Amino acid sequence: MNRTNVSTSGHARLLDLALLLFISVALTMTLSMVDSGLPSNQVATPVTCEAFATDNALSRKIQLVNWNIAKASLAEAHNSLEEIEFNLLALQETPADDSLLFSPGHTGLNTTGVALGSEVSPSKICRWQSLEPIMLTPKAAIAVTFPITGTSKELLVINLHGVNFSWLLGTWKAQLRTAASLAKSHNGPIVFVGDLNTWRYERARFSQEIATELGLQIPNYHSDHRTAPFGYPLDWLLSRGIKWEHVEAPRRELSDHNPIIATGYLLITENAENAENAENAE
């Protein structure tokens, strides 16, 4: 896998400035309509985690789908993916469903959030929310660890829906740093996916900076039709300890986002583990 470099050209920075100017005008208009008494000091909820006993484990072959389904039903998403085999499903803007590990985000007539689907029971689930500045609508995140067949190591899967209207990016960067702190403490393979809302240069650059800091790689796409409204893809697949054999983002009509579909194998380093077992046997 090769890391994709984010352009640092003057053109990209000028585009950023133009976008910031446009958003500045829009925010000024919005602020005039928002109740100034709304609480704004809390930008995120605490991370809450639960541990579980589990007696099953993931295969080392990973067939992953990541998709922002834009509040479509889970049945519609499955119908759109009916020809695709997968054993790990990561969704954003999905309604709650009993078959999924769910973290709530937006609440209204129907609650939507981020979710993970797997036939394997998790050993740990962590959830948190980050609030959009001004409007205070929550964006959700979930981090789940799964046992892996034939090893004591586990796969950490982080699924995050990025804050969209973080003016100076403080709230959005804090959201990614929370995910990074969970990844730093994990000794094993990692999949970090989601709609990170990287629609401008600084967001894309910072996401790549986090990836480098954590030793996560960006795969090569055989076909890449990820949504990129201003030239920067919104949806990401970052990983370590996985050899991806095929990664694509095909076109689908269900959502304004296209899914990322990836097939690969978990790479587990057993040397240290085997040495520890041998020492204990003596």
Crossing angle for the helix pair 10-31 and 201-214, to the nearest 10 degrees: 110
- Cβ neighbours, 10 Å, residue 121: 14
Domain that holds residue 254: 43-281
Sign of the CA dihedral 190, 224, 4, 206? negative
Spatial separation of the C-alpha atoms in residues 58 and 156, rounded to whole Å: 11
DSSP per-residue codes, 55-91:
---B-SEEEEEEEE-TT--HHHHHHHTTT---SEEEE
Asked if residue 52 lies in contact with residue 121, where contact means CB atoms within 8 angstroms, the answer is yes
Specify if 58 maps to a domain: yes
Q: What pLDDT tens digit does each residue of the chain (282 aa) get?
A: 444 556 556 677 777 767 766 665 555 444 433 333 333 445 678 999 999 999 999 999 999 999 999 999 999 999 999 989 999 999 999 999 999 999 999 777 788 999 999 999 999 999 999 888 777 788 999 999 999 999 999 999 999 999 987 767 888 899 999 999 999 999 999 999 999 999 999 999 999 999 999 999 999 999 999 999 999 999 999 999 999 999 999 999 999 999 999 999 999 876 544 434 433 444
Specify if 229 maps to a domain: yes
Specify if 22 maps to a domain: no
For 203, phi then psi, to 5°, come to -65, -45
Spatial separation of the C-alpha atoms in residues 116 and 120, rounded to whole Å: 11
What pLDDT, on a 0 to 100 scale, did the predictor assign at position 15?
Answer: 72
Specify if 38 maps to a domain: no
Kindly give the pairing relationship between strand 223-224 and strand 242-249: parallel
Q: What CATH number is attached to the domain comprising 172?
A: 3.60.10.10
Number of domains in the chain: 1
Q: What number of helices (H) and strands (E) belong to the chain?
A: 5, 13
Spatial separation of the C-alpha atoms in residues 197 and 181, rounded to whole Å: 20
What pLDDT, on a 0 to 100 scale, did the predictor assign at position 277?
Answer: 45
Spatial separation of the C-alpha atoms in residues 105 and 93, rounded to whole Å: 8
Per the DSSP assignment, residues forming a β-bridge with 195 are: 161, 235
